[in-house]
C-alpha cells in the first residue's frame, strides 16, 4: 500500500463536535487504496476549488438499465485508485428499518468488493455504496442478491420509492406508508430496473400532513395520509395540558389557519368546527395526548413535485382529494399506470410529469386519467378568460 | 441465472417484535429531551428512540459499530431517518443512558429532536459528483460545528431545517428548507467545438437551456451560447461534457431561506433568496458559515414561539427581514426567471 496521503486542509475538518466525514474516509484509507486516493483527490479539489470527476459514465449490470452511477477521476495518473469509482444504489427496506445481522452481510460484501464507503442514505432513500471498479459491479450485485438486497433506481425510470416511519412507530400515520411503499416497489420492479420513460419519476409516501419524507417537494407522485371525519378530542387531556401551563390560545387557537378551533377558559373545553378544518395538523402536533385524527382515513394524492430544472421548482398539487388506501392498493396503481401511459406517450425527452401537465394543461391530464375537476385542485380559479373548449362542448 | 427483480428486504423482517405487535396502534408520543423520544402504544407498551445525527458518508466499520450498539441495547434493531440521522429503538428504559454514553464516546452526540436544528440534508459535492459548484460534506461539517448548540439544545422558536445542494440541480430539499445553501456558477460555459460533435447530441443541448441561450452552429457542428441570456445553471453541461462551466474564481454558494414542507399552520413554502453569492473558502468556508449563523441567530431572537422561518418572515415582511439581518438587498433578489410577476409587490402596504 502506498504512503497515506497528506491532507492538511481536510485535517482541519477532523475537529469540532459534529461527526467528521474526513475521519470516515481516513478509516477507509487505512485499509484501502481507493479511499486513500479519494482523500488525495478531495484535498486537491479543496486546493483548487473544483471537482475532479470526469463527466458522466455509463456502467451497469446484466438485466438492468439503472442502479449504478459510473464515475471516473479526471486525474487518474495521480490517483490510480479512482480510475473507476462507481456508485451503486441499493433499495432500502421501507422506512429505513434494519436488523443488524442482515445489514452486516451487506457491509461485508461491500468491504470485500468496494471502497467500504457508504451513504446512509441517498436523498431518494437508497443505500449508497460509494466507489468500486467496473469488474466488481456484477459480483457485488450477485453477492447482494444472494443475501436479499436488490438494486435501486437511476436514470429515466421509476426511482426507488420511500416512506416515512409510518405505523411502525407513529400515532399519526393515517395510512400504512411502509406497506404502500413496499407494495408499489415490488409491483413496479420492471419500471424501476429498466428505464423506459421520458425522464425520472419518484414516489414518496407520508403518513400525515407533517410530510415526514417531504413527498410534496421531492416526489412526482406524492401520497399523503389524511382523514375525513372529526378530530377526536380527549377532554381530560386538554385540561391536563392547560393545567400544566400550555399556551393553548397562543399555540393552538390563534395559529389555526381557518380559525375553526376555539377554547372556553371557563369550562376549559376545546371545540372544533371540523367542516372548516383543513387538517393542517398543527393542533394535533401541539397536543398529541389530547387530540387525535379522525377514524376514516385515506390519502390525498398530489402530482408534479420536482427541483427547478427546467421550468422552475414545482411542489406537487392535488389531483385526488381523498383515496382509500387498502391493500392491494389497486386504485392507486390504476392511476399510476394511466399517468405513466400518458406521460410516456406525450412527454418530451427529460420532461418531468409536472412540466408535461404544465405544457399540455390540467385539462388534458384530467382527460387522460379520467379524474374529475374539483375545486380542491386549485388555490383559486384562473384570473384570465383564455380557456379552451372542446368541439363537442360548443354549438355546431 | 442471475436473480433479479426481487426488490428490497421486507420491512417487517427488519423490525422488532414490539414494533410489529404495536404496528398501527400507537397512542401518543413525548419528547423526553433533544435526543430522546418515547412512543406509547394502546397496549401500554413503550418504545424509546435515541436519535443522533450522522455525517451520512460513513465507513462500513462505523456502521458495524452502530450494529454492535443495537445488538447490545436494542435487540439488534435500528433505523435511519429521512434526514440521515440514526435512531436506536430501545425497549428497556434502563438502556437509554448507557447507549447515549457510548454513542457520545463514538463522537455521535444525541440530538435533533423537537425545536432544534436536526441533521443537514446534503449531496455529493467534490467527493463524488461531476457538476458541483461547491463541496457538500465540508460545508455541512463546518456549519454543523458552528450551530451545534442548536442541535443539542431546544432553544429555537420551532424546528429549523438546514439543507445543502452542490449545484442548481438542487438534489435533496434546498428548495423547501428553512435555511438552504446552493452551489452557483457566475460565468457561462466554455464551448469546446472540437469535442462537441463527438460527445453531445446538439438538439438535446439546445433543449436543455431554460432561457434559450443556446443555438446550433451548423457550420462548426457545434453550438453558440448567447452569454447575455445565460444565467449559468449548468444544465447544458449535464447534457454535454464539451460545455464545462466550472470557474474556481467565480463558483460559490447562494443562501435561500423560509421554505418548509409540512402543512401545519401555513401550507408548504419554497425557500427564497437571501444571499446571492459567497465564494468558496475551503476547508472551513468562514464567510458562508458566519452568514448562516447570523440568519439563524436573528430568527432565534426575533421569531415568536411556534413560528417556522418562513412564517416569521411572512409576519415581519421581507423589507424588515433585510433590515434585521443587515444583509444587502440587490437586483439579484428580484425574480426574472419564468414566473416572476406574482413575486412583485402590487400594493402600497409595506414597512419603511
Query: pLDDT for B311-348, tens place per residue?
Result: 999 999 999 999 999 999 999 999 998 877 788 888 88
Mean pLDDT of A53-79: 94
Which residues of chain B neighbour A187 with C-beta distances below 8 Å? none
Q: Answer yes or no: is pLDDT of B284 > 90.
A: yes
Average predicted confidence (pLDDT) for chain A: 96
Fold of B196-239: Alpha-Beta Plaits (3.30.70)
Domains of chain A: 8-147 (3.30.70.2500), 158-228+297-377 (3.30.413.10), 232-292 (3.30.70.20)
Contacts of B117 in chain A (CB under 8 A): none
CA dist list (Å): B46 to A252, A289, B3: 27, 15, 40
pLDDT digits (tens, 9 = 90+) for A330-349: 999 999 999 999 999 999 99
A277 touching B (Cβ < 8 Å): no
Q: Are B116 and B34 in contact (CB under 8 A)?
A: yes
| Inter-axis angle of helices A353-360 and A330-346, nearest 10 | 70
Q: How much of chain A, in percent, has pLDDT values that exceed 70?
A: 99
* CB-based contact B77 A98, cutoff 8 Å: yes
Residue-wise pLDDT for B72-82, tens only, equals 999 999 999 99
Instruction: Name the residue in chain A with its Cα closest to that of B149.
Output: A17
Sequence spans of domains, chain B: 11-106, 136-186+248-343, 196-239
Angle made by CA atoms A58, A60, A66, in degrees to the nearest 5: 90
Q: Is the pLDDT of residue A85 over 90?
A: yes
Q: Which grid coordinates belong to B112? A: 435533533
pLDDT digits (tens, 9 = 90+) for B35-48: 999 999 999 999 99
The pLDDT score that the predictor gives to residue A30 is 95
Residues A346-365 have pLDDT tens digits of: 999 999 999 999 999 999 99
Is the pLDDT reported for residue B20 higher than 90? yes
Interface test with B, best of A152, A217, A288, A290 (most B CBs within 10 A): A217
Q: pLDDT value at position B339?
A: 75
Strand ranges for chain A from DSSP E:
68-69, 87-90, 97-99, 117-120, 127-130, 162-163, 203-206, 221-227, 232-233, 261-264, 269-272, 291-292, 297-303, 317-323
**Mean pLDDT in residue range B239-262:** 97
DSSP B116-139: SB-PPB---GGGT-SS-SS-SHHH
Contacts of A170 in chain B (CB under 8 A): 26, 29, 39
Q: How confident is the model at residue A308 (pLDDT cuts 50, 70, 90)?
A: confident
DSSP lists the bridge partners of residue B87 as B51, B79
Domain pair B11-106 / B136-186+248-343, same fold? no
* Interface touch B235/A309, C-beta < 8 Å: yes
In chain B, how long is the greatest CA-to-CA distance?
77
Inter-chain residue contact B13 with A102, CB threshold 8 Å: yes
pLDDT at res. B159: 97
Which CATH fold topology does B11-106 show? Alpha-Beta Plaits (3.30.70)
Question: Does the beta carbon of A176 lie under 8 angstroms from any beta carbon of chain B?
Answer: yes
Q: CA of B173, closest CA in chain A: separation in Å?
A: 7
Q: pLDDT tens, B215-228?
A: 999 999 999 999 99
Segment B161-178, tens digit of pLDDT: 999 999 999 999 999 999
Q: How confident is the model at residue B1 (pLDDT cuts 50, 70, 90)?
A: low
Nearest Cα neighbor of A41 from A76, A71, A68 is A76
User: What ipTM was predicted for this assembly?
Assistant: 0.96
pLDDT of residue A2: 66
Which CATH number, 3.50.50.60, 3.30.413.10, 1.20.140.10, 3.40.50.1370, labels domain B136-186+248-343? 3.30.413.10
Mean pLDDT (chain B) is 96
In this prediction the pTM is 0.97
A291-292 and A232-233 beta bridge pairing: antiparallel
User: What pLDDT, on the 0 to 100 scale, is given for residue B342?
Assistant: 82
Ramachandran bin of B290, using left for φ above 0, alpha for ψ from -120 to 50, beta for the remaining angles: alpha
Query: pLDDT tens digits for A111-168?
Result: 999 999 999 999 999 999 999 999 999 999 999 999 999 999 999 999 999 999 999 9
- Beta strands B85-90 and B214-217 are unpaired
DSSP string for residues in B161-191: -EEEESSTT--SSGGGSSEEEEEE--SPPPP
- Residue A306 is given by DSSP the state B
Predicted local confidence at residue A238, as pLDDT: 97
- The set of cell numbers assigned to A111 is 468491504
Residues whose CB is less than 8 angstroms from the CB of residue B171 and which lie 6 or more positions away in sequence, other chains included: A123, A307, B123, B165
pLDDT on residue A1: 57
Residue A236 pLDDT more than 90? yes
* Edge-to-edge strand list for the sheet holding B162-165: B162-165, B179-184, B252-257, B272-279
Order of all β-strands in the sheet with A117-120:
A68-69, A87-90, A127-130, A117-120, B57-59
Q: B277 by DSSP, 3-state: which?
A: strand
Amino acid at each position: 500500500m502506498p504512503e497515506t496521503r497528506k491532507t492538511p486542509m481536510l485535517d482541519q475538518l477532523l475537529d469540532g463536535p459534529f461527526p467528521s466525514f474526513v475521519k470516515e474516509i481516513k478509516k477507509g484509507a487505512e485499509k484501502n487504496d481507493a479511499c486513500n486516493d479519494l482523500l488525495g483527490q478531495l484535498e486537491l479539489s479543496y486546493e483548487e476549488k473544483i471537482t475532479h470527476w470526469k463527466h458522466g459514465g455509463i456502467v451497469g449490470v446484466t438485466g438492468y438499465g439503472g442502479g449504478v452511477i459510473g464515475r471516473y477521476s479526471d486525474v487518474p495518473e495521480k490517483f490510480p485508485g479512482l480510475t473507476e469509482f462507481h456508485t451503486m444504489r441499493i433499495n432500502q427496506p421501507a422506512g429505513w428499518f434494519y436488523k443488524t445481522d442482515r445489514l452486516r452481510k451487506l457491509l461485508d460484501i461491500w468491504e470485500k468488493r468496494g471502497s467500504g464507503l457508504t451513504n446512509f442514505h441517498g436523498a431518494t432513500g437508497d443505500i449508497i455504496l460509494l466507489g468500486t471498479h467496473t469488474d466488481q459491479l456484477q459480483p457485488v450485485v450477485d453477492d447482494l442478491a444472494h443475501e436479499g438486497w436488490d438494486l435501486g433506481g437511476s436514470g429515466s425510470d421509476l426511482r426507488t420509492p420511500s416512506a416515512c416511519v409510518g405505523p411502525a412507530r407513529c400515532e399519526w400515520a393515517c395510512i400504512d406508508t411502509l406497506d404502500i411503499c413496499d407494495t408499489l416497489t415490488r409491483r413496479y420492479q420492471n419500471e424501476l430496473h429498466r428505464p423506459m420513460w421520458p425522464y425520472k419519476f419518484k414516489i414518496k409516501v407520508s403518513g400525515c400532513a407533517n410530510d415526514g419524507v417531504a413527498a410534496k417537494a421531492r416526489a412526482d407522485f406524492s401520497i399523503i395520509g389524511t382523514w375525513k371525519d372529526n378530530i377526536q378530542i380527549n377532554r381530560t387531556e386538554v385540561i391536563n395540558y392547560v393545567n400544566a401551563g400550555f399556551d393553548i390560545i397562543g399555540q393552538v387557537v390563534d395559529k389555526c389557519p381557518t380559525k375553526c378551533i376555539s377554547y372556553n377558559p371557563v369550562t376549559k373545553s376545546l371545540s372544533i368546527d371540523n367542516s372548516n378544518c383543513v387538517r393542517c395538523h398543527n393542533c394535533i402536533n401541539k397536543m398529541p395526548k389530547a387530540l387525535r385524527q379522525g377514524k376514516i382515513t385515506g390519502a390525498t394524492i398530489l402530482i408534479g413535485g420536482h427541483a427547478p430544472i427546467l421550468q422552475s421548482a414545482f411542489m406537487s398539487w392535488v389531483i385526488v382529494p381523498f383515496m382509500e388506501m387498502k391493500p392491494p392498493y389497486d386504485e392507486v396503481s390504476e392511476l399510476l399506470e394511466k399517468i405513466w401511459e400518458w406521460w410516456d406517450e406525450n412527454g418530451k425527452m427529460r420532461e418531468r410529469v409536472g412540466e408535461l401537465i404544465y405544457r399540455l394543461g390540467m385539462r388534458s391530464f384530467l382527460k387522460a386519467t379520467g379524474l374529475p375537476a374539483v375545486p380542491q385542485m386549485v388555490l383559486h380559479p384562473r384570473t384570465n378568460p383564455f380557456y379552451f373548449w372542446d368541439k363537442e362542448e360548443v354549438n355546431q | 441465472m442471475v436473480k433479479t427483480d426481487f426488490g428490497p428486504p421486507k420491512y417487517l423482517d427488519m423490525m422488532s417484535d414490539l414494533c410489529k405487535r404495536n404496528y398501527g396502534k400507537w397512542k401518543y408520543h413525548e419528547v423526553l429531551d433533544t435526543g430522546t423520544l418515547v412512543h406509547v402504544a394502546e397496549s401500554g407498551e413503550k418504545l424509546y428512540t435515541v436519535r443522533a445525527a450522522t455525517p451520512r458518508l460513513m465507513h462500513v466499520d462505523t456502521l458495524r459499530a452502530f450494529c454492535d450498539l443495537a445488538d447490545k441495547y436494542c435487540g439488534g434493531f435500528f433505523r435511519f431517518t429521512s434526514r440521515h440521522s440514526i435512531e436506536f429503538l430501545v425497549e428497556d428504559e434502563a438502556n437509554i443512558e448507557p447507549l447515549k454514553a457510548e454513542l457520545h464516546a463514538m463522537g455521535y452526540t444525541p440530538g435533533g429532536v423537537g425545536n432544534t436544528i436536526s441533521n443537514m440534508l446534503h449531496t455529493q459535492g467534490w467527493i463524488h459528483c461531476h457538476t458541483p459548484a461547491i463541496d457538500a460534506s465540508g460545508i455541512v461539517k463546518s456549519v454543523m460545528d458552528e450551530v451545534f448548540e442548536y442541535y443539542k439544545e431546544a432553544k429555537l422558536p420551532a424546528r429549523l431545517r438546514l439543507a445543502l445542494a452542490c449545484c442548481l440541480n438542487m438534489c435533496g430539499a434546498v428548495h423547501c428548507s428553512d435555511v438552504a445553501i446552493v452551489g452557483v456558477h457566475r460565468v457561462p460555459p466554455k464551448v469546446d467545438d472540437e469535442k462537441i460533435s463527438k460527445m453531445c447530441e446538439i438538439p438535446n443541448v439546445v433543449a436543455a437551456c431554460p432561457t434559450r441561450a443556446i443555438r446550433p452552429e451548423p457550420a462548426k457542428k457545434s453550438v453558440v451560447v448567447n452569454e447575455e441570456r445565460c444565467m449559468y445553471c449548468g444544465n447544458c453541461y449535464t447534457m454535454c461534457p464539451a460545455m464545462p462551466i466550472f470557474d474556481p474564481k467565480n463558483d460559490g454558494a447562494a443562501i435561500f431561506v423560509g421554505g418548509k414542507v409540512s402543512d401545519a399552520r401555513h401550507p408548504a413554502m419554497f425557500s427564497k433568496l437571501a444571499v446571492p453569492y459567497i465564494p468558496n473558502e475551503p476547508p472551513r468556508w468562514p464567510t458562508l458559515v458566519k452568514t448562516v449563523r447570523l440568519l439563524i441567530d436573528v430568527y432565534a431572537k426575533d421569531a415568536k414561539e411556534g413560528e417556522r422561518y418562513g412564517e416569521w418572515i411572512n409576519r415581519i415582511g421581507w423589507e424588515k427581514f433585510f433590515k434585521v439581518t443587515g444583509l444587502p438587498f440587490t437586483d439579484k433578489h428580484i425574480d426574472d426567471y419564468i414566473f416572476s410577476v406574482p413575486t412583485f409587490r402590487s400594493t402600497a402596504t409595506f414597512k419603511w
